[in-house]
Structure 1
Amino acid sequence: MRKPELKAIGVFGILLATPVLAQTLPYHADPDAREMLPSPTPVPAIRFLTTADFPPFNYRDESGELVGFNIDLARRICVEVDVACTIQVWPWDQVATALSDNLGDALIAGLAMTPENGELFDFSSTYLALPGRFVTRAQDIEGFRPDALSGEPVAVRADSAHAEFLDRYLPNVEAMPFDTESAALEAVKSGTVSAWFGDAMRASFWLNDNLACCGFAGEAYFRPHLFGEGLTIAMPAGQDPVRHSIDWALVRLKENGALDELYLRWFPVGFY
């Protein structure tokens, strides 16, 4: 299963926004990866598999063209490695099977790093982590402290990892569950709750249309054991030359600024 599911937030509006609040990506890879050398085994081409139903990562625009953050990233990886690149679109319920049947070399579509998937696939380093963050009304951002929320109502999506975070780390807040992130964020806007806590990426799309009222407050929380490892690229197990080439390209793209450029283009309200 992919995380996050973003359709309900109205992501298409981000392409029209001015990136006034965008930040560059933090460095997700191990610092030692900066010294990584190109793969000793040449890779003649990379056949990427993806889907067309996961905006803003991989989807078809109004003209039917395949676009998105993942699509741009796949192409930049191939340029960096200097190999031919193809991108094949599959239905979500078939794409992992296509990869395991060696109908492609790499899957860039948000496949989760579950134990079950780990038995079939290897994964690249993380190229986009998914932190949790608080959102408050604009007047409450300056000087925000999570410990000051004791006894205050905080919106969260029901039965989510972020609700578990609040229960584990801030047990004194009054967690108010909502069925969707958008409903919970609207509660912040209306003043029904003091803050919202949840997936920062989802919130960034909502904030894109609500910057006058609200914004991120406090730090970003990276808890892979709760929020997941983030977005990676999957490959059939044992395809070490492809995995090494992709990891090397991700390091180079971060170092030369290309990965930050893609992030700023597709996520104008930064979530770090």
Structure 2
Amino acid sequence: MLKPVLLLTGVASILLASPTFAQTLPYHADPDAREMLPGLTSVPAIRFLTTADFPPFNYHDESGELVGFNIDLAKRICVEVDVACTIQVWPWDQAATALSDNLGDALIAGLAMTPENGELFDFSSTYLALPGRFVTRAEDIEGFRPEALADEPVAVRAGSAHAKFLARYLPNIDATPFETESAALEAVKAGTVGAWFGDAMRASFWLNDNLACCGFAGEAYFRPHLFGEGLTIAVPAGQDPVRHSIDWALVRLKENGALDELYLRWFPVGFY
């Protein structure tokens, strides 16, 4: 499973207070899925399962309300397919079992597409991939080239998939390991390293508070074999009507702008 990660304290207030910026928008849904919508008699309702410990995707806000990108997305999917929708919260270590036991129709909580999970579940199209990106000081963003970092230390979280990426694809870079991503990013801010490379989504929240000093530089790197397949929705194996309905809705939500709206709302500093 993809273990839920608590991002930064006060995520909800940051997201609501921060402006949106011009940015590249994600598009991962399979356009062929628009032909897949089954008869609604096959899918009278979608019972979504989720967790409440994975901000900003699914969590309880200060008032106790279940909120997040995944929660909004699940509701939009049900509206698009025009079926009844419920969202039930489970502890992370019980959520997949609950789906296997037919206590729900779909799990939207960051379940990883591992071979083990693939024996039990089918997965929707990816709705949000999680790329790796460089962060530099603001004055170094324009004209950024990774090759130019050969003589400067680049911060990376020790033992991470992003450290493996640098070793494999950019071996001339002097990768400097840090125990945490926040410590590595603070080193960029302090100017003790030339750049940071790591999970772009988590970096986007740090950048909310540090746009005056730093920003994303260069392109986004998508490497599913290293960074994972991204976020998908799991359904019990063989439940094709539900999966097709979800995939169909993801295409429609991209085409009508709703998916972009959700992305801009929850990720005001985009990571693509």
TM class, shorter-chain normalised? over 0.9
1:20, 1:82 → 2: CA distance?
30
* 8 Å Cα contact 1:156-1:196 kept in structure 2: yes
Counterparts of 2:25 and 2:3, CA distance in 1: 19
Q: Which residue of 2 aligns with 1:241?
A: 241
- Once the two structures are TM-superposed, the CA of residue 204 in structure 1 deviates from its matched residue by 0.2
Counterpart of 2:107 in structure 1 is 107
1:198 paired residue number: 198
Whole-Å Cα distance in 2 between the matches of residues 70 and 189 of structure 1? Answer: 31
Residue 266 of structure 1: aligned partner: 266
**CA offset at residue 16 of structure 1?**
3.3
Instruction: Identify the residue that residue 74 of structure 1 maps to in structure 2.
Output: 74
User: In structure 2, how many angstroms separate the alpha carbons of the residues matched to 1:11 and 1:179?
Assistant: 22
Q: How far has the Cα of 1:72 moved from its partner?
A: 0.4
Q: For residues 94 and 224 of structure 1, do their structure 2 counterparts lie closer, same or farther at Cα, with a shift above 3 Å needed? A: same
Question: Could you report, residue by residue, the CA deviation over 1:76-112 in whole angstroms, capped at 9, with x for unpaired residues?
Answer: 0000000000001000010110000010000000111
Question: Hey, what does 1:38 align to over in structure 2?
Answer: 37
User: 2:4–2:54: 8 Å Cα contact kept in structure 1?
Assistant: no
Identical counterparts, % of pairs: 87
Equivalent residues in 2 for 1:114-193, closer than 5 Å: 114-193=114-193
Deviation of 1:22 (Å)? 4.9
CA distance in 2, matches of 1:92, 1:37: 31
**Alpha carbons 1:158, 1:178 under 8 Å: kept:** yes
Query: Which secondary structure does the structure 2 equivalent of 1:133 belong to?
Result: strand
1:242 & 1:31 partners in 2: Cα distance? 17
Deviation per CA, 1:224-263: give whole Å up to 9, x if none.
Answer: 1110000000011110000000000001000100000011
> Which residue identity is paired with 1:146?
P
Q: Is the 8 A contact 2:18 2:208 kept in 1?
A: no
Whichever residue aligns with residue 107 of structure 1, its letter is L
Residue 32 of structure 1, CA deviation: 3.4
Counterpart amino acid of residue 208 in structure 1:
N
Q: TM-score normalized by structure 2?
A: 0.96
What are the superposed Cα offsets for residues 158-201 of structure 1, whole Å, 9 maximum, x if unpaired? 10110000000111111011111111100000001000000100
Aligned in 2, Cα 1:22/1:230: closer, same or farther, shift over 3 Å?
A: farther
Contact 1:4 1:202 in 2 (8 A): no
Q: Residue 226 of structure 2 aligns to which amino acid in structure 1?
A: L
Match for residue 227 of structure 1?
227
Over the aligned positions, Cα root-mean-square deviation in angstroms equals 1.5
| CA distance, structure 1, for counterparts of residue 242 and residue 36 of structure 2 | 13
- Deviations along 1:30-78, whole A, 9 cap, x unmatched? 3434x42422463100000001111111011111110100000000000
Residue 3 (structure 1) shift: 5.7
Give, in whole Å, the separation in 2 of the partners of 1:268 and 1:7.
15
Q: Please tell me the residue identity of whatever aligns with 1:18.
A: S
Instruction: Indicate the larger mover: 105-114 or 6-15.
Output: 6-15
Equivalent residues of 1:125, 1:247 under 8 A apart: yes
| Aligned structure 1 segments of 4 or more residues deviating by more than 6 angstroms | none
Instruction: Specify the alignment match of 1:28 in structure 2.
Output: 28
Instruction: Judge conservation of contact 2:6–2:53 (CA < 8 Å) in 1.
Output: no
Aligned residues: 271
Query: Residue 183 and residue 144 in structure 1: after superposition, are their counterparts in 2 closer, same or farther (change >3 A)?
Result: same
State the one-letter code of the partner of 1:114: T
Partner Cα separation in structure 2 for residue 188 and residue 222 of structure 1: 23
- Does the 8 A contact of 1:111 with 1:232 survive in 2? yes
Alignment TM-score, normalising by the size of structure 1: 0.96
2:67 is equivalent to residue 64 of structure 1? no
Pairing of 1:10-25 with structure 2 (within 5 A) = 11-23=11-23, 25=25
User: Unaligned stretches of 5+ in structure 2?
Assistant: none
Distance of 1:182 and 1:48 partners within structure 2: 33
- Per the alignment, residue 211 of structure 1 pairs with 211
Structure-2 separation of matches of 1:153 and 1:238: 49
Task: For residue 156 of structure 1, give the secondary structure of its aligned residue in structure 2.
Answer: strand
How far apart in 2 are the matches of 1:203 and 1:9?
14
**1: CA distance between counterparts of 2:99 and 2:178?**
36
Any conservation in 1 of the 2:31–2:251 contact (CA below 8 Å)? no
Q: 1:19 to 1:36 in 2, by over 3 A?
A: farther
Does the residue aligned with 2:205 lie in a helix, a strand or coil? helix
